[in-house]
Structure 1
């Protein structure tokens, strides 16, 4: 009955890759009891926040609940995949549908388009459900070795060995989690095929717009392409926001991994890594952002950023198969 636990301590602090793989295999298999898709959604939330941990490998419940809520909003409301539980509706489904109805939010609205105060209310309610049914359940399935948690203090700490493992094998873990989550959703809902669902599950964490980040970057930096340096305008070189390290690897939107780009560079770069010398440029740019202490928005976006995070992200993306290196022609 680990899902009822209010506190969970780490049983072991050091695990080998082989031990972690063995536990992950159990979590993704039928050996792990799953009455709902909650465990998969928590793994997706962890992946989205891998580069948001502080120096003690801690995350807040709010960070995880935000990502968790976004996953379900986009599945339930945007894609009408209501059944996320065997038997009665999952509590998260009820929360989301009630809030959508109360505030008359259109089904085509992705999570990031919802008003901030409504997002906060929804995340708060979902967080309460996660405390009852999610944190303890996955904790038990991972043999109490992947993370520690404490509901009273909204405290969550990843095992450093697990954090390193997830960085190293991120792409594979993402693909495995997406596949098994899609397979379960297919069993619960009447949908055409698992291939149809995989496309939905793979993109539920993606924002519909990067406009808020674009505004911040335009406010603090000159309107020129990060890669080729040419001025951006409303003409052929219109402004794009590009993920410096591809979204398909990062699986999240952080301003410290976003740059202004012209349409030519954005289209040409696509899902490739920029040449390593651009890494120095984005680190310099990010340090300029950190200096904007008077801008609360920027400070919020840059929380827990360290130069080493984007360097690690670059190196781990290559290890995960993103080895096509690009530079402007």
Structure 2
């Protein structure tokens, strides 16, 4: 994983006017769109994530099983899987201090089918996404979610004042994929943080707006953390394995861990909020607190790539797959995007303590 990836077309320059138009359309969508449920916010979130997690998309030629690489093609099944991931946390009952645990509504009517389905899987003892994907009911869940997606947000997201303003992608219901318009994939990558933060904040507000939820939520200030936060207790599951593959040393300073150590998101949670097994490293609390939400220096990046993506990719997958999503290509794609964005923004990288270094391109 060398600096050649920084010159990839993944973040090629796009006309500034198009970028402004992208932000303006996003603002219009959130203000002028008709949001009777949270599905459209999830779709925005999903599109932004998928544009980062996959650097290329494949589409078969007509009458052929051969696929070729093309940018901006996202299959409906990819969106379906991302939808299920995004709503998985929401299928837990919300518990306030003075109320019974309650499965929060995600629309203005009865509970959404997806939340009910995910809650049913939890009642069968399914505890994480890896177990869910291995369950015999996974295919049926995807099929039902696909139907919900196609009947709802996929073709309604871009309806403004009753008119389809297809800025992101054309409405072609005959295809099993959507084709993002030129420059849209770039803009989703470039403004991922903006899209996701706005989608999540509006999503949280919408959940709060539903009358049936209000008695449970009350004045609780932790709803956003419940819906989208990092499970700090869960990530400690990665500590024993990381201690083993790092030979008892802190990932960053390479000195012996004379303390328990802290599991750190190598690509910071603040930059890409997702718990992925191959993104974890173990560090001294002092090193972790100094790094905070910064990207680590290139020597740390190279060590992370060697440790988690090359040398120990299989053991991380086998040992942590019961707790987290463990897909090394996905973690690698996110890291590629994060460092490309840092290069474009001339962001300094954290080396140690209070020392930062420029990113060499």
Normalising by structure 2, we get a TM-score of: 0.67
Deviation of 1:226 (Å): 1.8
8 Å CA contact retained: 1:52, 1:59: no
Give the SS at the match of 1:49: helix
Aligned with residue 203 of structure 2, among 177, 181, 195: 181
1:37 aligns with 2:62: no
Count of aligned pairs: 305
8 Å CA contact retained: 1:171, 1:320: no
CA-atom RMSD in angstroms = 4.1
Q: Distance in 2 between matches of 1:271 and 1:181?
A: 24
1:272 aligns with 2:294: yes
How do 1:249-260 and structure 2 match up within 5 A? 249-260=271-282
Deviation of 1:98 (Å): 3.6
Which residue matches 1:8? none
Which residue matches 1:117? 134
Q: Distance in 1 between matches of 2:48 and 2:238?
A: 21
Give the SS at the match of 1:260: strand
Which residue matches 2:65? none
Which residue matches 1:52? 53
Q: Distance in 2 between matches of 1:120 and 1:272?
A: 37
Deviation of 1:287 (Å): 5.6
Q: Distance in 2 between matches of 1:95 and 1:321?
A: 45
How do 1:11-160 and structure 2 match up within 5 A? 16-29=18-31, 31-55=32-56, 56-79=71-94, 80-101=102-123, 103=124, 111-112=128-129, 114-118=131-135, 120=138, 122-140=141-159, 143-147=165-169, 154-159=176-181
Q: Give CA-to-partner distance per residue, 1:215-261, whole Å, 9 cap, x none.
A: 776676644322011244xxx43354321221121122345533232
Give the SS at the match of 2:234: coil
Deviation of 1:303 (Å): 2.9
Which residue matches 2:225? 199
8 Å CA contact retained: 1:186, 1:193: no
How do 1:227-246 and structure 2 match up within 5 A? 227-232=252-257, 236-246=258-268
Higher Rg: 2
Which residue matches 1:313? 338
Deviation of 1:178 (Å): 1.8
Q: Give CA-to-partner distance per residue, 1:25-74, whole Å, 9 cap, x none.
A: 12211x21122110001222233334211323444544433332233232
8 Å CA contact retained: 1:279, 1:311: no
1:168 aligns with 2:190: yes
8 Å CA contact retained: 1:77, 1:97: yes
Q: Distance in 1 between matches of 2:106 and 2:345?
A: 30
Q: Give CA-to-partner distance per residue, 1:200-221, whole Å, 9 cap, x none.
A: 3442x76863467667766766
Q: Distance in 2 between matches of 1:322 and 1:84?
A: 38
Which residue matches 1:7? none
Which residue matches 1:225? 250
8 Å CA contact retained: 2:92, 2:103: yes
Q: Distance in 1 between matches of 2:75 and 2:231?
A: 21
8 Å CA contact retained: 2:49, 2:192: no
Give structure 1 stretches of 5+ with no counterpart.
Answer: 1-12
